[in-house]
Structure 1
């Protein structure tokens, strides 16, 4: 697991009590194989909660179950009083749960400003109607500019998104998720493929946007997890292996074995 946080303290400050997002007995089968196998999960309101584990542990499948991109074979997912299992992703987003993707899907010729204006229009009910005039989307111009500034793209709003550097594309993706004003923001590998400078910038950005909301992230970079997460759930073979603060789980023999193999468990 490494030791990226020498003090083992992780994020500072109290984490509010009470779950805002829960899963109970969550199962997803693919032709008899259980990618997620009876997962129970409680995400505390106002926290940053990391889902980690070795390759094939079921992290992405669980992420897709929470956000409606996969339907569970069995089990329940609740956001507050709302049952999410079986709802379409766009309905789930309107209830207050939004996600960013591991692989960016942006329109290369549209500017960041246009992307965010369209996202704001979709949330408001105007919808993704590309034939609407610039004047119709213009009502969202001020808020779009605020969101771009929030993610560090204030000076990049009017250039084609396809020309943005990778780290800035990920920042735009985050702005699109924030345009939905979510209660819970799910981030799928937010620092994947980034250099050190972009990783540091993204960590600072997540710290900023967590104010007033809950963040769930799938992340391989354990330094990022140690710096951001209030609580960590470690998955293995589709099940919860261990859960707790990073300072506790990082030296758990079960976690060391899961990541490094039995021969390293005693080191």
Structure 2
């Protein structure tokens, strides 16, 4: 596999060096060195237990590393709290949807937009003040193709629609970097294809790192792929390079994917 060419430090949005997480003697993430280039879509793949979600939790501040460092835009963010990391322009979506069934899609966006001002935390007293975010909320919903569903309670939405609203919530932070954890998990084929198109659209002008088991998704979206095995980087390269690498075939993809 060809080596990744050297790039200017200003073109690296996210970098880890020797990032390690140990749980009671079990090494979940093992000395991971990762570079994510500006304006690219970077996939993290690997079998169950490879350390992908643990790595995401480290990058987004939900876990503290045992050792190693994380840099965002050249700034050391190792060990910072999730809310601090979010305010630096890193947005994360989770594998499991976490929306409020009785709130509309628009209300979700208004709360997200209002939270930096403190209004979002007092939404039961601030409905009129939240209304000032309606215009931007509608723009974000339109960006993910959900403007026509803005005033429906999300409890009535199909699974793919809920994931679209969650992407809009991530966009509400105006992030320079988006971390998407299993964005197509649990979806049928039609929803997967719609979500691929949606992620491709919102990735324009942004940097995206995502985890997904679906190699159709990875092949459709990723400019760069990092394969993890037992917490360590096994190989890295383009999708075509990775999918034909003998180590990957043996460890994860299997002959049927070649």
Which residue is 2:134 aligned to?
Answer: 141
Give the superposition deviation at 1:260: 5.3
2:1 maps to 1:42: no
Q: Distance in 1 between matches of 2:126 and 2:163?
A: 27
2:210 maps to 1:217: yes
Give the superposition deviation at 1:17: 7.8
Which residue is 2:4 aligned to?
Answer: none
8 Å contact from structure 1 (residues 188, 217) kept in 2: yes
Q: Deviations over 1:24-61 (max 9, x none)?
A: 00000100100001000000000000000011100000
Which residue is 2:198 aligned to?
Answer: 205
8 Å contact from structure 1 (residues 123, 180) kept in 2: no
Q: Distance in 2 between matches of 1:65 and 1:168?
A: 28
Choose from 174, 189, 196 the match for 2:189: 196
SS at 2:56 equivalent: helix
Give the superposition deviation at 1:189: 0.4
- Report which of the two has the higher share of helix: 2
8 Å contact from structure 2 (residues 101, 153) kept in 1: yes
2:174 maps to 1:181: yes
Q: Distance in 2 between matches of 1:17 and 1:112?
A: 37
Give the superposition deviation at 1:127: 4.1
Give the superposition deviation at 1:212: 1.4
Choose from 147, 160, 173 the match for 1:154: 147
Q: Distance in 1 between matches of 2:61 and 2:210?
A: 16
Which residue is 1:59 aligned to?
Answer: 52
8 Å contact from structure 1 (residues 232, 245) kept in 2: yes
8 Å contact from structure 1 (residues 96, 184) kept in 2: yes
Q: Deviations over 1:114-136 (max 9, x none)?
A: 00000001134534222332210
Which residue is 1:83 aligned to?
Answer: 76
Which residue is 2:20 aligned to?
Answer: 27
Q: Distance in 2 between matches of 1:201 and 1:84?
A: 34
Q: Distance in 1 between matches of 2:40 and 2:134?
A: 31
Unpaired runs of 5+ in structure 1? 1-15
8 Å contact from structure 2 (residues 114, 133) kept in 1: yes
Which residue is 1:246 aligned to?
Answer: 239
Aligned length: 249
Q: Deviations over 1:100-120 (max 9, x none)?
A: 010001111010100000000
Taking only aligned residues, the RMSD between alpha carbons, in angstroms, comes to 1.7
TM-score under structure 2 length normalisation: 0.93
Unpaired runs of 5+ in structure 2? 1-8
Which residue is 1:130 aligned to?
Answer: 123
TM-score under structure 1 length normalisation: 0.90
